Amino acid sequence: MKQFTVPIGYRSPLITAVKQYRKQQDKLKKDDTPTLLDLGNLQIYLARHFGFCYGVEHAIEIAFSTIESNPDKRIFLLSEMIHNPQVNADLLAMGVQFMQDTYGKQIIPFEEIRSDDIVIIPAFGTTLAIEALLESKGIVTAKYNTTCPFVEKVWNRSAQIAEKGYSIVIHGKPKHEETRATFSHASAVTASLVVNDMQETAELAKYITGEYESAGFYEQFKGRYSAGFDITKDLIRFGVVNQTTQLATDTQAISDYLKSVMIKKYQLTADNIDQHFADTRDTLCYATNDNQTAVSGMLQTVADLAIIIGGYNSSNTSHLVELCEEKLPSYFIDTPDRIISKNEILNCNWRTKDQYTVHDFLPEKSPVKILITSGASCPDAVVESVIKKLAHLYGVEEQVEKLIASF
């Protein structure tokens, strides 16, 4: 897989050494056990896979090289490059201006853009309408498009099954940039609909089977379906694709559930299931799946708590927190500064995004065992800084440097 140039400030000697060691020992990625960093009375277990993914590194390389190559031009980002506060703050400090917030609220009007400006499309992609608007103003979009290749893979697969007469059901957070972009591309080629979770999917199934009157669909799913969507016709043949940062298991469960509904309604068999349901398993993002699988492997280790690092508006990171919370006390932080002392940590609720102080989060025992992972948009340097902060609290900072040489 291609290697990208990422600013040195996002790299970490420790994490690089750990990842290279694990890659050499497990080239086929079959071992999901975490890596033990034994610091004596502090034992840290790093997930097998975590941090920057292919799509994030791809976006960062384009963005930073664009800034370096165009010192005299105004440079805009449609919205946050990725959902990481450090990376976005660095871009702002370099003079980049964000045109929209995460939810599409306009910060800088498109009317202020000139044809000689540069507008970078973020890793989540954007809608066809915004692309057309930029191009109508003479903005070159292709050169500065950082859309993740795996997001584009979802778009391409949607187009492929649309050509065969299928509609599209998208599993995603309706307000997320990526979901809005995927919905735009899908609805341009076929009838499309967004479902947020299994609960909504179960409700949708009742319209498919006729248990609910079709009129109720349009109010219940208002703002989620494409123009002209007909609930009585457009879900006779469909496939399920996803927002790539969702839990892979959730997308698969939604797909399997809707498939079972279609099998029952139309009395289908393995030989003719494709008459009503498209196979779209290949749209699941490898990095999201790897990170989630690694967390499941990490959770097999007996530990006292878990720390998950990433941007608070990062969908993929939130799902890692969700997985960890099912097993043990888990703390969601975006910087090492959230660890105030041995007695206090500023935690973020992954559902509500509320932040609150947790007291006595580190147990009075030795050794303390902590599981650590990070989201796909979190720099390795931040992970190392969290490890060093914990090491400082236990007075074992010198052991961290020794670990680098041991891998």
Q: Which CATH number do you get for residue 104?
A: 3.40.50.11270
Q: Is residue 60 part of a domain?
A: yes
* Whether residues 93 and 183 fall in one domain: no
Number of domains, the chain: 3
* Whether residues 237 and 153 fall in one domain: yes
Q: Give DSSP secondary structure letters for 29-86.
A: ----PPEEEE-SSEEEEE-SS-S--HHHHHHHHHHHHHHHH-TTS-EEESS-SSS-HH
* Among 17, 49, 20, CA closest to 34: 49
Known catalytic residue: 178?
Answer: yes
Higher pLDDT, 213 or 4: 213
* Among 6, 1, 3, CA closest to 377: 6
State the pLDDT confidence band at 81, using cuts at 50, 70 and 90. confident
- Show the tokens assigned to 163: 């050509």
Q: Are 195 and 268 in contact (CB under 8 A)?
A: no
Q: Is residue 394 part of a domain?
A: yes
What SS3 class is residue 330?
Answer: strand
* Among 311, 346, 353, 306, CA closest to 325: 306
Q: How far apart are CA 21 and CA 13, in angstroms?
A: 12
Hey, how many other C-beta atoms are within 10 angstroms of the C-beta on 67? 18
- Show the tokens assigned to 363: 């147990």
CA angle 138, 141, 142 (to 5 degrees): 130
| 269-318 pLDDT, tens digit each | 989 999 999 988 767 778 888 999 999 999 999 999 999 999 999 989 99
* Whether residues 49 and 67 fall in one domain: no
Q: Which of 114, 144, 174 is the last residue of a domain?
A: 144
State the pLDDT confidence band at 1, using cuts at 50, 70 and 90. low
- Which residues touch 299 (CB under 8 Å, ≥6 apart)? 306, 323, 324, 327, 328, 371
| 314-366 pLDDT, tens digit each | 989 999 999 999 999 999 999 999 999 999 999 999 999 999 999 999 999 99
Q: Is residue 1 part of a domain?
A: no
* Whether residues 130 and 190 fall in one domain: no
Between the alpha carbon of residue 162 and those of residues 131, 203, 266, the distances in Å are: 21, 24, 20
- Residues pairing with 278 in the sheet: 239
Q: Which of 252, 284, 316 is the last residue of a domain?
A: 284
Q: How far apart are CA 301 and CA 308, in angstroms?
A: 16
pTM, entire model = 0.88
Task: Please give the biggest Cα pair distance in the chain.
Answer: 67
* Whether residues 156 and 277 fall in one domain: yes
* Whether residues 97 and 167 fall in one domain: no
Q: How far apart are CA 245 and CA 201, in angstroms?
A: 18
- Residue 239 backbone phi and psi in degrees, to 5: -135, 160
- Please report the pLDDT score of residue 391 as a whole number: 97
Q: Is residue 266 part of a domain?
A: yes
State the pLDDT confidence band at 108, using cuts at 50, 70 and 90. very high
* Whether residues 275 and 157 fall in one domain: yes
Measure the CA dihedral 105/56/380/321, to 10°.
Answer: 60
Q: Are 197 and 250 in contact (CB under 8 A)?
A: yes
Q: Give DSSP secondary structure letters for 117-128.
A: SEEEB-TT---H
Q: Is residue 3 part of a domain?
A: no
* Whether residues 138 and 160 fall in one domain: no
Cis geometry, peptide bond prior to residue 329 (ω within 30 degrees of 0): no
Handedness of CA 332, 333, 336, 337 (dihedral sign): negative
Q: What is the extent of the structural domain holding 366? A: 8-53+287-406
Read off the pLDDT of each residue in 139-144 and give the average, rounded to a whole number.
Answer: 90
Q: Which CATH number do you get for residue 42?
A: 3.40.1010.20
* Whether residues 402 and 296 fall in one domain: yes
* Whether residues 320 and 355 fall in one domain: yes
Higher pLDDT, 281 or 141: 141
* Whether residues 63 and 131 fall in one domain: yes
Pairing type for strands 35-38 and 42-46 reads antiparallel
Q: Is residue 339 part of a domain?
A: yes
Token look-up 């066809």 returns 128
Q: Is the pLDDT of residue 17 over 90?
A: yes
Q: What is the 3-state secondary structure (H, E, C) of 229-255?
A: CCCCCCCCCEEEEECCCCCHHHHHHHH
Q: Is residue 2 part of a domain?
A: no
Q: How buried is 78 (Cβ within 10 angstroms: 0-12 exposed, 13-18 middle, 19+ buried)? A: buried
Catalytically annotated residue among 178, 211, 322, 384: 178
Q: How far apart are CA 242 and CA 281, in angstroms?
A: 10
- Show the tokens assigned to 283: 């749209």
Helix or strand holding residue 153 (H, E): helix 149-163
* Whether residues 14 and 67 fall in one domain: no
Q: Is the pLDDT of residue 385 over 70?
A: yes
Q: How far apart are CA 14 and CA 384, in angstroms?
A: 7
Q: Which of 85, 115, 144 is the last residue of a domain?
A: 144
Hey, how many other C-beta atoms are within 10 angstroms of the C-beta on 337? 11
pLDDT mean across residues, the chain = 94
Q: Is residue 112 part of a domain?
A: yes
